[in-house]
Amino acid sequence: MILISGMLARALELPALAGPEKVIDVQDVQEQIADTHENWRASENWLTQQSLIEAKKILGLGRFVRGSLDYEPIRGLKMNEIKSIDWRNEDGINWLGPVMNQGNCGSCVAFASVATLEAQTSISAGIPWLKPTFSPQALFSCGGGRCNLGWLPEYASEYLKKIGVPDAACLSYSSGSTGEDVECDQVCADFSSRKVKILNFLTPTDGQGCVETIKKALHKGPLVTTLNVYSDFLTYSEGIYKHVTGDYVGSHAVSLVGYDDLRRAWLIQNSWGTEWGEGGYGWISWDDISGLGVETWAFQVETHLKELSIVAPIDREYLSGQVRLIAKTLKLENSILSFQFRNEKGESVKNLSCQGDKDEGCSVSFDSSELPDGRYEVIAESFSSDLEVIRSQIREFFVLNRVPEQSLSFIPAPDLNLNAPLSGLLEFMISAVFSPVPIQHLEFRVFNLDGKMMTYKSNDFVLEKMQISWRTATVPNGEYKILVHGETVFQGKVYSVDSEPVFVTVQN
């Protein structure tokens, strides 16, 4: 799962058989917005650089959204009756998990379902610091989703009810980096004990319904919903989106996290990283033709007062030196809590304990250099008054206490001659060598000969072997330098590495 602290979660563009034309011309969208006086802004981003075939890969709903909503009951509202909800700031609290990026895999249904479940778990418990994480890779791979085919929300909902989904560390998300499916047998060995089920799911709307029904459901928590995507939607950067130009690209699933009667718009949390929209969120007009809200799913989760959560470190955090562990629970006062560490082999390597406090939680520090550098999991445990064991979700983190060793290289496809003028879609294989932990952040960069970076694509889940592609139509004809750049933060300093640069000529 891509849960990045302090870095943009944007995915590499992956190879596809397609022509050189981009899916949408941003300047044309901007002109259409001005001509129609719509209230939103279009900008270039990693999505607008793609062809139609490539753009379809970042969707994944397996059907066209059909039906309509009845908006009549809200027409004629007086100003003093206007209402709204935004789960990013409900009672001054952000109940949502971080914006994620599905990359170039049609896994939107899994991401929308996980985002909705993470928020609903905290909301139902009434605990803003709970912040659970679930694995979209496990849900997608084990539930029957496929990168090139996508999935359906009703299947995801049924799977969450019957089987459940584990924490993010049980199976990290990699399909967005490779464009390839991951087999379900890759989940953690203790999957059964780590999975969480929903009690039930409801469908406030199912191809038809009243907007008031959705609003009522939203007051209990976010919903999974679907929409038809037109190419101008890929360019959205802020404001209230309403389709103005461009063809139908495919259908998509997102988490519906709010509404505003005054704006006459829905608020969504998307799974295209923070570069798209308003930091990964978007307002969609009630008058748009996308069909947003025509289909919705609400999750019912178990609520009790035994929740225990590790609030530091966060998932996939890179740690060095003195590290502070923090856990919270409503049942922590005057109780002893333990932290248990496991290495990548699943072996127990360290235990720590601390005294609980209902306000500050349980906090303990340790010297991470006591552990060999590498990947670890940590779980917190406490005992209730009746000696029942209460366990937190597992968090994944990396220990790094020496300067990282890292190198990068990229190899063009066998039939690609970089000495000849280039055009169209260019395919490369990235080889990443790293020790003792994975490179934290990766970028494919294109510079002009004045040293100005013209375009780049990034990813924060770095594998030893990755595929990327570069569409030459994203830059004017001319000469360029291309390379792969990696970064890892160690003790507050960024250690970077570049592949050998290659000078190429673009002639579209």
Q: pLDDT tens across 123-160, in order?
A: 999 999 999 999 999 999 999 999 999 999 999 999 99
For the record, the structure tokens of 111 come out as: 């991401």
Among the listed residues 243, 252, 441, 485, the single catalytic one is 252
Q: Is 252 a catalytic residue?
A: yes
Provide the CA 351 distance to its chain's centre, in angstroms.
Answer: 31
Q: Which residues contact 303 (CB under 8 A, 6 or more apart)?
A: 124, 125, 126
Q: Which of 451, 450, 457, 446 is nearest to 422 (CA)?
A: 446
- What's the CA gap between 218 and 179, in Å, rounded? 33
CA distances from 283 to 8, 40, 52, 225, 231 (A): 21, 9, 24, 14, 16
For the record, the structure tokens of 266 come out as: 């829905």
Q: Do 52 and 25 touch, CB atoms closer than 8 A?
A: no
3-class DSSP assignment, residue 6: coil
Query: Which domains does the chain possess?
Result: 26-300 (3.90.70.10), 308-399 (2.60.40.1220), 405-506 (2.60.40.1930)
Express each pLDDT in 336-381 by its tens digit. Answer: 889 999 999 989 999 998 877 666 678 899 999 999 999 999 999 8
Q: Do 29 and 232 touch, CB atoms closer than 8 A?
A: yes
Burial class (CB in 10 A: 0-12, 13-18, 19+), 424: middle
Question: How much is the pTM?
Answer: 0.87
Regions of the chain with pLDDT less than 70: 1-21, 72-82, 304-306, 331-334, 357-360, 384-387
Element (DSSP H or E) covering residue 225: strand 223-230
Q: Is 147 a catalytic residue?
A: no
DSSP symbols for 7-54: S---PPP---S--S--S--HHHHHHHHHHHT-SEEE---TTTTS-HHH
Q: What is the pLDDT of residue 104?
A: 82
- What's the CA gap between 286 and 131, in Å, rounded? 30
Q: What is the pLDDT of residue 428?
A: 85
Q: Do 108 and 254 touch, CB atoms closer than 8 A?
A: yes
Among the listed residues 104, 105, 108, 441, the single catalytic one is 108
Q: Which residues contact 318 (CB under 8 A, 6 or more apart)?
A: 397, 398, 400, 437, 440, 488, 489, 490
- What's the CA gap between 238 and 243, in Å, rounded? 13
Q: Which of 362, 302, 298 is nearest to 326 (CA)?
A: 362
Instruction: Let me know how long the chain is.
Output: 508
Residue with tokens 């995915």: 11
CA angle 134, 135, 140 (to 5 degrees): 130
Q: What is the pLDDT of residue 9?
A: 34
Other beta carbons less than 10 A from residue 155's beta carbon = 15
